[in-house]
Chain A
Amino acid sequence: QKEVEQNSGPLSVPEGAIASLNCTYSDRGSQSFFWYRQYSGKSPELIMSIYSNGDKEDGRFTAQLNKASQYVSLLIRDSQPSDSATYLCAVNIRRGSTLGRLYFGRGTQLTVWP
């Protein structure tokens, strides 16, 4: 089982809709969870972080964490064409000397069409 798994997509939604991106992780001891956005040909950009169960909102973005189910999601409300990108889920899985390392999912490609 991979440490972090995401729906590979691609996901396509119309402008104004809610886009829902999902991620599961293998280690129950994980403490830190991140969402990165990566535009084609660019590097990943940190857009959301979440550390405790529940929802965290930042503008049109909401991250949701359920540690019991080992599940983290990202909701994008009022999706815009500029949200079209690949979204990477990353988890800090603590293993001995690898403290500080993040494990990344392979990403979900999102397309928002006008």
Chain B
Amino acid sequence: DVKVTQSSRYLVKRTGEKVFLECVQDMDHENMFWYRQDPGLGLRLIYFSYDVKMKEKGDIPEGYSVSREKKERFSLILESASTNQTSMYLCASSLSTGRYEQYFGPGTRLTVT
């Protein structure tokens, strides 16, 4: 079974703090994705990566950065957390060939106060 894990299930941070969200997958997937999900807005893609050290912006990259130093790990960084970044953050991974089905981690519910 595909397994995607995220470092924290719940996280509370203060405005202005630097926040790191970690995602690890164990299925040797090339593609990894970071989304945020808010009521009424659905899933929105923040960043994705097709390979180690490679990244591409999604639809809402402002205020975020990412790092992928190893194939299995994809990190999302909030350089200076703001209250409008309070959300559910979801990581997903998929193969680079075939049908592209994505598998999600359990999510991190981040609250910025």
Closest to B102 in A: A102
Q: Interface SS of chain A: helix, strand, loop or mixed?
A: mixed
Task: Note all chain B residues with C-beta closer than 8 A to A51.
Answer: 99
Task: Please judge, given known A-B contacts A43-B107, A101-B48, whether A34 and B101 are in contact too, CB under 8 Å.
Answer: yes
Q: How far is the CA of A98 from the CA of B43 in the complex (A)?
A: 17
Q: Is the interface on chain A under 10, 10 to 19, 20 to 34, or 35 or more residues? A: 20 to 34
Query: Is B43 within 8 A of A100, CB to CB?
Result: no
B64 part of interface (Cβ distance < 8 Å) = no
Task: Note all chain B residues with C-beta closer than 8 A to A90.
Answer: 102
Which residues of chain B from 35 to 57 have any CB-CB distance to chain A below 8 Å in the complex?
Answer: 40-43, 45, 48, 50, 56
Residues of chain B having any CB pair with chain A under 8 Å: 31, 33, 40-43, 45, 48, 50, 56, 90, 94, 96, 99-107
